[in-house]
């Protein structure tokens, strides 16, 4: 009897905690900028392709042979062309089609404004260790290793090109150099985790088969550019510009085309999967 009573009190406490926990999650969810409601995405009609960096922000440097902003634009435009030829039913929106400066927040804003069903951000990796090589595709979440955190911090630091980033509300006072800034802020993206993971896996599978750049797999970290999107979204680190073998692929039209075909095939499979599960 005593034991039963104990269990009942404990259960009641647990239920109370769960309700409180749920309420907190809801309050946080509704408070997130640009993410007032979580919608169901079960088709692929509109896709936003985001060529990372651009204009005053060159991204990482490939031994003065090429910059990240050039590679990302090359892959983005090639991917758009393949999609226009092979899947014209998909409306493709580019965040940029030239060497243009964009605020980091403008990229997810464009996707949200167009009610996009998918957001793909294209980047290149960099590391002090020049032997680090390979591609990685990220979806939003808590980093599982310091390496993932470093990648997110480097990409998030693009906001430091925005002179007013520290006192504006776009990023909630986010400081890319603060470790506390990288706590989990992915509650809305959690709703799309399965779909984002599926696409990320497809991208790594297909690009790994087609391109000489080896796949390092699918990873999670807190990227500002993904955080504010209200649809499935991934960030592709196509390869390391600091590695000579990867760079050789990334700087050529042919190398960029192979990566673009790999991403295209992943999109095609993802769309077929979505339609089959309806």
Binding positions for Zn ion, rule: CB under 5 A: 52, 59, 123, 155
Q: How far is the CB of 212 from Zn ion (least distance, A)?
A: 21
- Report the alpha-carbon angle 67-160-62, nearest 5: 15
**What's phi and psi for 236, nearest 5 deg?**
-100, 120
Q: How far is the CB of 109 from Zn ion (least distance, A)?
A: 18
Q: How far is the CB of 13 from Zn ion (least distance, A)?
A: 46
- For residue 276, how many C-alpha atoms fall within 13 Å in the half-sphere facing its CB? 6
Question: Based on CB atoms, which residue is closest to Zn ion, 136 or 204?
Answer: 136
The residue nearest Zn ion at its CB is 123
Question: Based on CB atoms, which residue is closest to Zn ion, 53 or 206?
Answer: 53
What are the DSSP calls for 40-82, one per residue? P----SEEEEEE--BTTB--SEETTTEEHHHHHHHHHHHHHHH
Question: Based on CB atoms, which residue is closest to Zn ion, 123 or 143?
Answer: 123
Q: How far is the CB of 197 from Zn ion (least distance, A)?
A: 21
Distances (CA, A) of 60 to 63, 157, 188, 243: 9, 11, 29, 12
Strands of the chain (E only): list them: 46-51, 61-62, 66-67, 91-94, 118-125, 135-140, 215-221, 233-240
Q: How far is the CB of 53 from Zn ion (least distance, A)?
A: 6
Q: How far is the CB of 155 from Zn ion (least distance, A)?
A: 5
Q: Which residues partner with 218 through β-bridges?
A: 137
Among candidates 125, 82, 62, 48, which has minimal Cα distance to 260?
A: 82
Question: Based on CB atoms, which residue is closest to Zn ion, 59 or 141?
Answer: 59
Q: How far is the CB of 51 from Zn ion (least distance, A)?
A: 10
Alpha carbon 189 to its chain's center: 10
Among candidates 90, 43, 88, which has minimal Cα distance to 277?
A: 43
Question: Based on CB atoms, which residue is closest to Zn ion, 182 or 268?
Answer: 182
């Amino acid at each position: 009897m005593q034991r039963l009573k104990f269990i009942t009190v404990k259960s009641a406490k647990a239920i109370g905690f769960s309700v409180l926990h749920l309420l907190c999650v809801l309050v946080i969810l509704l408070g997130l900028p640009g993410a007032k409601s979580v919608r169901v995405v079960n088709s692929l009609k509109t896709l936003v392709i985001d060529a990372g960096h651009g204009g005053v922000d060159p991204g990482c440097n490939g031994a003065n042979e090429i910059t990240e902003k050039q590679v990302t634009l090359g892959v983005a435009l090639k991917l758009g062309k393949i999609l226009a030829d092979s899947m014209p039913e998909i409306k493709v929106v580019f965040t940029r089609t030239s060497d243009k400066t964009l605020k980091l927040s403008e990229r997810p804003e464009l996707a949200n404004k167009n009610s996009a069903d998918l957001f793909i951000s294209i980047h290149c990796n960099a590391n002090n260790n020049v032997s680090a090589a390979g591609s990685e595709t990220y979806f939003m979440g808590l980093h599982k290793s310091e390496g993932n955190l470093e990648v997110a911090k480097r990409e998030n630091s693009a906001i430091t090109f925005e002179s007013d980033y520290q006192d504006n509300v776009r990023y909630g006072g986010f400081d890319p150099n603060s470790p506390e800034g990288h706590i989990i802020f992915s509650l809305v993206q959690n709703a799309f985790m399965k779909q984002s993971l599926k696409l990320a896996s497809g991208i790594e599978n297909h690009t790994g088969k087609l391109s000489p750049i080896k796949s390092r797999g699918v990873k999670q970290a807190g990227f500002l550019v993904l955080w504010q999107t209200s649809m499935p979204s991934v960030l592709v680190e196509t390869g390391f510009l600091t590695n000579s073998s990867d760079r050789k692929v990334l700087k050529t039209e042919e190398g960029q085309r192979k990566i673009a075909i790999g991403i295209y095939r992943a999109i095609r499979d993802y769309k077929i999967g979505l339609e089959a599960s309806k």
